[in-house]
Amino acid sequence: MAQRKAGAVNYEAVIGLEVHVQLKTQSKLFCGCATEFGVEPNTRVCPICLGYPGVLPVMNAEAIRKTILSGLMIGCKITRFSKWDRKNYFYPDMPKNYQISQYDLPLCLGGAVQIPGKTLGVTRIHLEEDVAKSFHFDTTSGVDFNRAGTPLMEIVSEPDMRSSEDAFAYLTALKEILITGGVSDCDMEKGQLRCDCNVSVRPVGQAKFGEKVEIKNMNSISGVKRALEYEIPRQIAALGRGEKIFQETRRWDDEAGKTSVMRTKEYAHDYRYFPEPDLMPVTVSDSLLAEIQQLLPELPEAKRQRFVRQYGLPEYDAGVLVANSTLANFFEKAAGKNPKAVANWMMSVSDITATPIQPVQIGELVAAIDAGQISGKQGKDVFAEMLATGKSPGTIIKEKGLAQVSDTGAIEGFCDQAIAGNPKSVADFKAGNKAALNALVGQVMKLSKGKANPQLVSAILARKL
Amino acid sequence: MSLHTLTISELRDKLQRGEVSVRQLTQALLDRIQAVDGKLKAYLWLNPDDALRQADAADLTKPLGGIPVAIKDVLNVTGQPCTCASKILQGHISVYDATAIRKLRDAGAILLGRTNMDEFAMGSSTENSSWGVTRNPWDLERIPGGSSGGSAAAVAGHEAIAALGSDTGGSIRQPAALTSCVGLKPTYGLVSRYGLVAFASSLDQIGPFTKTVEDAALLLGVIAGHDPLDSTSVPAPVPDYQEKLNAGVKGLRIGLPKEYFIDGMDREVEAAVRAAIRQLESLGAEVVEILLPHTDYAVAVYYLIATAEASANLARFDGVRYGARVRGADVLETYSKTRGAGFGPEVKRRIILGTYALSAGYYDAYYLRAQKVRTLIRRDFEQAFQKCDVIVTPTSPTPAFKIGEKANDPLQMYLSDIFTISVNLAGNCGLSLPCGFTSQPKLPIGLQLIGKAFDESTLLRVAYAYEQSTPWHKERPAL
Amino acid sequence: MSEDHNRIDIEHVAHLARLELTDVEKNKFAAQLKDMLAYVAKLGEVDVTGVEPTAHAIPLTNVLRPDESRPSIDPVLILKNAPETARGLIIMPKIVE
């Protein structure tokens, strides 16, 4: 739990997140180069995305659609007249030394992301081109322009988060929504989702925000959480010592577990935004909006409610199963006649989709138990074997000869043997001790090497006695 | 018969009738270049073998088949060095064709060579070239105009049958006026800018330099048209510009803006232009007085918007991916030294002014205000064109001045763009054609015609009528 | 416009534009640009109330292209044009944050 007090003062953190998401399009934002990850450097480039003399950008229609879809998924208002602007600054990863972005009329405004118990506001979503990737060596840096020009959505949140947990939940939920919508794969390791934090602290009850510090270089969602868990107490402690917090940019070092100053406000950029003369504005018509609305997928929250309704699952189970779309899809494929049982098997491991088990196999397992082919206890062994080998329940049951004996003839035989061999239990049962039956059932199970169907055994014994 | 002095129409005729071969024609031009370019210095790059190879492969069935055209060094041609007359692009070889170049090739033209210009198209005299100034064929001590001075001199000096240039504030029309050829700036959006190294994105257009109006109509028809690679190019069909060329001017209204006949204009220039207007009247045109009330603000508007856009467009010249790099101790130094060493003074001046106009605290007062006044200038033209079909003005207030005469007064230099600049701000089309000469020395005077947006046909029609009733287009420099 | 507006902080602007200037250039430009700013100040006379800035010369919207990839340029051409390359990357002095 992060430090919240310094001296007698209770502080709260105010956190806003800026998330950059690479869109899952075939080609880059302004040219036809393929958006492919992990290929040889500078092999997915052309004069346009390299900022060669004389080139011009032409907007990718699908990038616009995916941005609008993203806005609709989180409840944004879609800007009907949207325009492009040049953001001017010099950097080796910027081919033109200006980035084509959106300043005052972004595609989406407003919106929110739901996390358990809270609504976290979103300020805007805009579309811009991604920059190149740099690699740093001893005395030089090398630039690979494959990434330059990839369509990038910038999602700016309201400063509604108050804890590292909030930030973690926001990012997790946002990522899930974007994946569900097919907008991005959001793989942070591939740079498809990147996050910067703005965090300040203020005494609880104070309306005015404290000075905000920008934190960069977090490479995972849990990294964001760790960075905040360091930074919030750092700021509070500093204030407690009577120091001032200055607006600055700090770099998170995950290995060392701390942030350090990157640049101070003096070096803040003057971006000299002005309208992009090479690109025409975008007007979003009613019909385009309607068309994209048709593409809206079922979002995680709606899915959760449907699982409760349609499958009769408890809220908790539904919540676990919609955590990601692969898990949810797995469940729906496996559900069958006994969704609760399927859910239980799925929740008995941390991530069933990472195992060799197929949805249909869980269904088969549940069906085998429900039909009495194997017992619940045997089911656990079968499941363990499924996890280890990926074989189907049917195969495992056959290989291990686990099929419960439900052949009444055989059971009758075992029952007769048990009755004959356990006169005391028989006598106890006949004297009114119902529990004595269990001992006899146990004997029959032993005789049948555990394969007899226990319910049948009970029934047959009871009849015989 | 000196082949190099002929026009596109005349040569097309001779080529198709087999009177002359493409190789002969190309060789004639190469010979002419050899003979006079030492003095004129219009060309920056020439590859005679390549030109002759193109000549041998020429297809006469195409509209410009076999016609050698010179190219301003601001246009990308695959495999050719593209320096924009700047040190910062020294050694840079283009890796793609500009769309206008592709269209020229598809029309069968021969790409003859690359011509000199003011660095990054910033200038009105070609004195800002990093590779030396081009001279006016009519007087070698004088400038040919700018920024497309090399293309103008090549055509006027008969070192090319035609040429391509670019016009942001008058860079085709003014050199055409100063060298006695026809120069046309198309309506913004008519010709694709893909492959034109950008100076001011909302003002730049590529256009033809030719010896006659008919040639201009032909060349315009080849390079015009929608291009999916240029989002600012207009998706409208290209008319046949030669169709109504000789329809005459009867019934057409010529607008005379009183703001354009100012003090400070050379007396002979004014006289020649007024004579031209009377000539148009005698041909049947009606002259009406119009007002362009915001003319006085055009230079100020231009020098804020063009420099602002340029400051961003030229940011890419940083020695990272191409061009000449000057190594510094770190990234910042590498940028600053590369750009400090690579750009000439005029370019630096404009980048500074443009950066300032966009910078924090000044954007509203400079850039934004200039764009608002620009709207008023556009409205002026829209309103004027309700009363007339074509507007007539002088192209340049003075004939060609001597090399070095205005070098120390950049503001004076900017003011000489006064007649051409508004046309770029409004986006309309404009053309300059010869309308006489000064007496001593004999220097060309140009008449500017301004047309409604996408109405190049009427522009060319009026120009043709005037040209055909006057002797100017037949004059040749003594070079 | 005030006198202040007529003085460009050349050092600051040259830094924004990444232009290294000599002292001679700084002084020369400062003087020339002062004149230019004084000249463009006349735009302050114009009544621009309610006038929209010209964003584009022609009122086009929705100029878009389909999301189709096409082959990229041969990296050899790119690396040949770059002043310094190594291992397929374009090399600069070390970028320090």
pLDDT tens profile A241-282: 999 999 999 999 999 999 999 877 666 789 999 999 999 999
Distance of CA C70 to the CA centre of its chain: 30
Q: Which of B86, B129, B166, B171 is catalytic?
A: B171
C16 and A CB contact within 8 Å: yes
Return the pLDDT at A300: 83
* A contact residues 417-436, partner B, Cβ 8 Å cutoff: none
Question: Would you state the pLDDT for residue B414?
Answer: 84
Best mutation site among C5, C92, C97 for testing chain B: the one with the most B CBs within 10 Å? C92
Q: Is the pLDDT of residue A2 over 60?
A: no
* pLDDT at residue A408 in the model: 67
**Average of per-residue pLDDT across A159-166:** 97
What are B40's two structure tokens? 């004129």
What is the reported pLDDT for A9? 87
pLDDT, mean of residues A277-294: 96
Q: Could you tell me if residue C58 is inside a domain? A: no
Q: How far apart are the CA of B434 and the nearest CA of chain A, in angstroms?
A: 31
- The domain boundary, picked from A399, A419, A451, lies at A399
Beta strands A133-136 and A151-157 are: unpaired
Active site residue B21: no
Considering the domain boundaries, does residue C96 fall inside one? no
How far is residue C26's CA from residue C39's CA, in Å, rounded to a whole number? 20
* pLDDT at A404 (0 to 100): 66
pLDDT digits (tens, 9 = 90+) for B144-188: 999 999 999 999 999 999 999 999 999 999 999 999 999 999 999
Provide the number of structural domains found in chain A: 3
Contact A218, A224 (CB under 8 A): yes
C97–chain A Cβ distance below 8 A for any pair:
yes
Q: How far is A161 from chain C (nearest CA, A)?
A: 28
Co-location of A25 and A132 in the same domain:
yes
Q: Which pLDDT score is estimated for C3?
A: 44
Tell me which residue in C16, C73, C90 faces A46 most closely, judged by beta carbons. C73
Contact A145, A50 (CB under 8 A): yes
- What single-letter DSSP state applies at residue B136? B
Q: Are A324 and A266 found together in one domain?
A: no
Average pLDDT of span A149-176: 97
Q: Is residue C77 part of a domain?
A: no
Tell me the chain C residues in contact with residue B336 when contact means C-beta distances shorter than 8 Å.
18-20
- pLDDT bracket for residue A323 (50, 70, 90): confident
The answer to whether residues A134 and A251 belong to one domain is: yes
CB B46 within 8 A of CB B33: yes
- Asked whether the whole model's pTM tops 0.80, one would answer yes
A218 and A167 housed in the same domain: yes
Average pLDDT of the residues in A59-78: 98
- B336 as an active site residue: the answer is no
Write down which residue in A248, A270, A292 finishes a domain.
A292
Taking residues A300-307, what's their average pLDDT?
89
What is the identity of the amino acid at A373?
A: Q
| Structure confidence at residue A462 (pLDDT) | 83
Neighbours of chain A (3+ CB pairs under 8 A): B, C
- CB contact under 8 Å between C42 and B297, yes or no, is yes
Into how many domains does chain C fold? Answer: 1
Say whether the peptide bond before residue B228 is cis (omega within 30 degrees of 0): no
Query: Given pLDDT bands bounded at 50, 70 and 90, which one contains residue A376?
Result: confident
Q: How confident is the model at residue A407 (pLDDT cuts 50, 70, 90)?
A: low
- The answer to whether the CB atoms of B352 and C5 lie below 8 A apart is no
Q: What are A201-211's pLDDT values in tens digits?
A: 999 999 999 99
Q: What is the SS3 assignment for B156?
A: helix
Q: Provide the pLDDT for residue A3.
A: 55
How close, in Å, is residue B374 to chain C by CA atoms? 6
Cβ partners under 8 Å of residue B267, min gap 6: none
> What is the token pair recorded at C81?
């044009």
> Quick one: pLDDT at residue A1?
43
β-pairing, B43-46 vs A274-275, is unpaired
Partners of B392 in beta bridges? B449
Start and end residues for every CATH 3.90.1300.10 domain found in chain B: 3-253
Residues A32 and A52 in one domain: yes
User: Which range (A80-84, A449-453, B310-314) has the least confidence?
Assistant: A449-453
Based on the number of CB atoms within 10 Å of its own CB, is C17 exposed (0-12), middle (13-18) or buried (19 or more)? buried
- Are B370 and B357 in contact by the 8 Å Cβ rule? The answer is yes
Same domain? For A277 and A338 the reply is: no
Catalytic residue among B124, B129, B130, B147: B147
Confidence of residue A406 (pLDDT cuts 50, 70, 90): low
- Predicted pLDDT of residue C27: 93
B143: which 2 tokens?
């400038």
CA atoms of B179 and B476, how far apart (whole Å): 10
Average pLDDT over residues B384-410: 94
Burial A304-326 (b: 16+ CB within 10 A, else e): bebbbeebebeeebbbbbbebbe
Whole-number pLDDT of residue A374: 85
Out of C61, C62, C72, the one facing A33 most closely (by C-beta) is C72
To the nearest 10 degrees (0 to 180), the angle between helices A164-180 and A300-311 is 80
From A255-259, A372-376, C11-15, C46-50, the region with the lowest mean pLDDT = A372-376
Peptide bond just before A70 cis, omega within 30 deg: no
CA dist B370 and B200 (Å) reads: 14
Residues of A in contact with B198 (CB under 8 A): 53-54
Write down the pLDDT at residue A453: 76
- B433 φ/ψ angles, rounded to the nearest 5 degrees: -140, 160
Contacting residues of C for A92, CB less than 8 Å apart: 92, 95
Distance (Å, whole) CA C88 – CA C76: 9
Q: For the domain that residue C7 is a member of, what is the CATH number?
A: 1.10.20
Instruction: Indicate the Cα dihedral angle A141, A144, A150, A155, nearest 10°.
Output: -20
Q: What is the pLDDT of residues B225-261, one digit of tens each?
A: 999 999 999 999 999 999 999 999 999 999 999 999 8
B147 labelled catalytic: yes
**What is d(CA A256, CA A253) in angstroms, rounded to the nearest whole number?**
5
Q: From CA B337, how far away is CA B330, in angstroms rounded?
A: 11
Report how far residue B5's alpha carbon sits from residue A455's, in angstroms, rounded to the nearest whole number: 112
- Cα distances (angstroms) measured from residue B425 to each of A92, A298, A416, B189, B367: 33, 50, 107, 13, 14
Cβ-Cβ contacts under 8 Å between A and C: the total is 116
Residues of chain C with Cβ-Cβ distance to A47 below 8 Å are: 73
Structural domain harbouring A459: 408-464
Contacts of A277 in chain B (CB under 8 A): 201-202, 232, 309
The DSSP secondary structure of B389-416, one letter per residue, reads SEEEEES-SSSPPBTTTTTT-HHHHHHT
Interface test with B, best of A52, A139, A266 (most B CBs within 10 A): A52
For B316, name the nearest residue in chain A, comparing CA atoms only.
A96
Query: Would the pLDDT of A396 be above 60?
Result: yes
Subunit contact A96:B316, Cβ cutoff 8 A: yes
Of A70, A293, A32, which is closest to residue A181 (Cα–Cα)? A70
Pair (A460, A393) in one structural domain: no
Secondary structure E strands in C1-97: 64-65, 85-86, 89-93
Give domain B3-253's CATH superfamily.
Answer: Amidase signature (AS) domain (3.90.1300.10)
Assign B223 a pLDDT band (cuts: 50, 70, 90). Answer: very high
The single-letter DSSP state of residue B114 is E
Give the number of A-B residue pairs with CB atoms closer than 8 Å.
89
State chain B's mean pLDDT as an integer: 96
Cα within 13 Å of Cα(B119), Cβ side: 23
Residue C91 resides in a domain = no
Is A288 exposed, middle or buried (CB count within 10 Å of its CB: 0-12, 13-18, 19+)?
Answer: middle
Q: Where are the alpha helices (DSSP H) in B326-472?
A: 331-342, 345-358, 369-384, 410-415, 421-426, 456-468
> Taking a C-beta distance cutoff of 8 angstroms, is the pair B428, B458 a contact?
no
CB-based burial, A35-60: b 16+ in 10 Å, e otherwise: beeeeebbbbbbbbbbbbbbbbbbbb
Percent of chain B with pLDDT over 70: 100
Are A423 and A436 spatial neighbours (Cβ–Cβ below 8 Å)? no
Structure tokens at B269: 């220039």
Which of B89, B117, B193, B231 best tests the A interface by mutation, with the highest count of A CBs <10 A? B231
β-bridge pairing C64-65 and B429-437: unpaired
**Which token pair is A133?**
């990737």
One domain, residues A85 and A151 = yes
Does C13 lie at the interface with A, CB-CB under 8 angstroms? no
Domain shared by A156 and A256, yes or no: yes
For Cα atoms B83, B84, B85, give the angle at the middle one, nearest 5 degrees: 80
Let me know: does B322 contact B92? Beta carbons within 8 Å: yes
* Reported confidence tier of residue C1, pLDDT bands at 50, 70, 90: very low
The residue among B459, B475, B454 whose CA lies nearest residue B226 is B454
- The rounded distance, in Å, linking the Cα atoms of B324 and B329 is 16
pLDDT at C55: 84
Residue from B309, B352, B409 to probe the interface with C (highest C Cβ count within 10 Å): B352
Per cent of chain A over pLDDT 90 is 71
The angle subtended at Cα A313 by Cα A312 and Cα A317, nearest 5°, is: 175
Q: What is the CA radius of gyration of chain A?
A: 31
The mean per-residue pLDDT over the stretch B413-423 comes to 91
Cβ-defined contact of B316 to A88 (cutoff 8 Å): no
SS3 A157: strand
Q: How far is C23 from chain B (nearest CA, A)?
A: 12
Work out the minimum CA distance from A160 to partner chain B, whole angstroms. 29
C76 CB neighbours in chain B (<8 A) are: none
Domain stop point among A234, A265, A292: A292
Question: Looking at B72, B211, B406, B452, which residue is catalytic?
Answer: B72
Label residue C2 by pLDDT band (50, 70, 90). very low
What CA–CA distances, in Å, run from B441 to B140, B175, B446, C19? 12, 17, 16, 42
Structural domain including C34 reads 3-45
Q: Do C48 and B376 touch (CB under 8 A)?
A: yes
pLDDT at A179 over 50: yes
Residue with tokens 């941005």: A67
Q: Which range is least confidently modeled, A452-461, B262-271, B452-461?
A: A452-461
Given CB atoms, is C56 within the 8 Å cutoff of chain A?
A: yes
What is the helix (H) or strand (E) element at residue A195, kind and residue range? Answer: strand A193-203
Residue with token string 């001296």: A7
Nearest CA-CA distance, residue B57 and chain A, Å: 28
Asked if residue B164 lies in contact with residue B72, where contact means CB atoms within 8 angstroms, the answer is yes
Residue A342 corresponds to which tokens in the numbers above?
Answer: 């399927």
Given an 8 Å threshold on Cβ–Cβ distance, is B359 in contact with C5?
no
The answer to whether C66 and A63 are in contact (CB under 8 A) is: no
DSSP A236-276: HHHHHTTPPP--EEEEEETTTTEEEEEEEGGG------EE-
Q: Between the CA of residue C24 and those of B87, B337, B351, B436, what are the distances in Å?
A: 20, 16, 17, 43
Confidence of residue B263 (pLDDT cuts 50, 70, 90): confident
Residues 6+ apart with CB under 8 A from A229: A2, A164
**In the block, residue with structure tokens 């004997």:** A443
Distance (Å, rounded) from C-alpha B109 to C-alpha B70? 10
